[in-house]
Copies of this chain bind each other. A is one copy, B any other.
Amino acid sequence: MLSFVNDYSEGAHEKLLQRLVETNRESLDGYGADRYSESAKQKIRAACACDRADVYFLAGGTQTNQVVIDALLDKYEGVVAASTGHIHTHEAGAVEHTGHKILEIPHKEGKLIPDALEKYLKAFYQDENHEHMVFPGMVYISHPTEYGTLYTKQELQRLSEICGEYAVPLYMDGARLGYGLACPDTDVTLPDVAEYCDVFYIGGTKVGALCGEAVVFTKENTPRHFVNLLKKHGALLAKGRLPGIQFDALFTDGLYLELGRHAIRMAGILRKAFEEKGYTFYIQSPTNQLFIVLENGQMERLKEKVRFSFWEKYDDGHTVVRFATSWATEERAVRELTALL
């Protein structure tokens, strides 16, 4: 059975496994204080062109969003997000579990539009009842977004300016950041992300690691006692070496971007095949996730030979489904799938 069901179906890139094996019997400090975590942090700082970046490694994406948002918000604040934001739709209320509201604003192709953000923030402070409302305390975006779309550099810059004017941090969920950065059409680099965001995370779980996300605070703005907050959230790994060694490998010799580029190339072949065969795209995504509208009968037939994801109901006769490529997708599998279309 072919699988395009998601980008976290395989284990880890072999170079990561190899490093885990090589370092296995070394006795290292716990809780992220080991030398490999330190090395990984240094390499991430270099890749971000941000010397003062403060880096922490967590196990998964929802956990990272939950801890970072809870740590950065004040008690009277919530987080602004697009209505399609992952934290708002598919994280089982993890943010609200920490006591904070998600302040939803409309999206465009999964993106939070700068003008809409500015309008929202302005209107909030103009509202005479705002002392009875949840204050906007930070802004959440993901890159790529929930629909695989990408912000332009100009859009990021503009979001950053607006956040600056209202003194709220801009936070980027980079669960699939590698696939965004590797996209040939993007003008956004990792240093751009570090410049425009106050905090973001570099996703490992979906880009070649067994587990692990690297949170980067870029403006000397790490919350006080952040390690304690990680512990309090159940997010502090005793063996910090596990993500540390993997990120050290991911940021050696450009592996992280290389993995991203592979997935993007595989998606490109597939996208072209869908186009040529006249399939309907639900949305134009330039990254590793393709959202296709299938007639339900067609969907059932395809399911017999290939695994993909239900995304949402389109209408009574059609369904939006997702095909995802990844660092692990083999070109042979892509060719087999295109032959089936």
Interface residues, chain A, CB within 8 Å of chain B? 3, 5-6, 8-12, 14, 17, 20-21, 23-30, 59-67, 70-71, 74-76, 78, 89-94, 96-102, 104, 123, 126-129, 131-135, 205-206, 210-211, 223-225, 227-229, 231-239, 241-242, 307, 310, 312-313, 328
Nearest CB in chain B: distance from A228 CB, A: 4
A-B contact pairs, 5 of them (CB 8 A): A11-B23, A63-B234, A132-B228, A210-B242, A211-B238
Residue in chain B with minimal CB distance to A61: B238
- Chain B residues in 8 Å Cβ range of A5: 27
Q: Are B100 and A96 in contact (CB under 8 A)?
A: yes
Q: Are A11 and B24 in contact (CB under 8 A)?
A: yes
Number of copies: 4
Nearest CB in chain B: distance from A328 CB, A: 7
Q: Are B75 and A232 in contact (CB under 8 A)?
A: yes
Q: Are B133 and A92 in contact (CB under 8 A)?
A: yes
Nearest CB in chain B: distance from A262 CB, A: 14
Q: Are A132 and B90 in contact (CB under 8 A)?
A: yes
Interface centre among A5, A61, A235 (most CB of B within 10 A): A235
Q: Are B313 and A123 in contact (CB under 8 A)?
A: yes
CA of A62 to CA of B206, assembled, Å: 25
CA of A129 to CA of B313, assembled, Å: 12
Contact of A239 (CB < 8 Å), options: B8, B20, B89: B8
- Chain B residues in 8 Å Cβ range of A127: 310, 312-313
- Chain B residues in 8 Å Cβ range of A96: 78, 96, 99-101, 134
Residue in chain B with minimal CB distance to A3: B27
Contact of A66 (CB < 8 Å), options: B17, B26, B227, B234: B234
Residue in chain B with minimal CB distance to A104: B104
Q: Are B228 and A92 in contact (CB under 8 A)?
A: yes
- Chain B residues in 8 Å Cβ range of A232: 75-76, 91-94, 97
Nearest CB in chain B: distance from A214 CB, A: 16
Q: Are B76 and A228 in contact (CB under 8 A)?
A: yes
Q: Are A233 and B234 in contact (CB under 8 A)?
A: yes
Q: Are A90 and B129 in contact (CB under 8 A)?
A: yes
Q: Are A132 and B231 in contact (CB under 8 A)?
A: yes
- Provided the pairs A9-B28, A76-B92, A78-B96 are in contact, do residues A239 and B225 lie with their beta carbons within 8 angstroms? no
Nearest CB in chain B: distance from A203 CB, A: 10
- Chain B residues in 8 Å Cβ range of A67: 234
- Chain B residues in 8 Å Cβ range of A225: 76, 131, 135
- Chain B residues in 8 Å Cβ range of A90: 129, 132-133
Residue in chain B with minimal CB distance to A223: B75
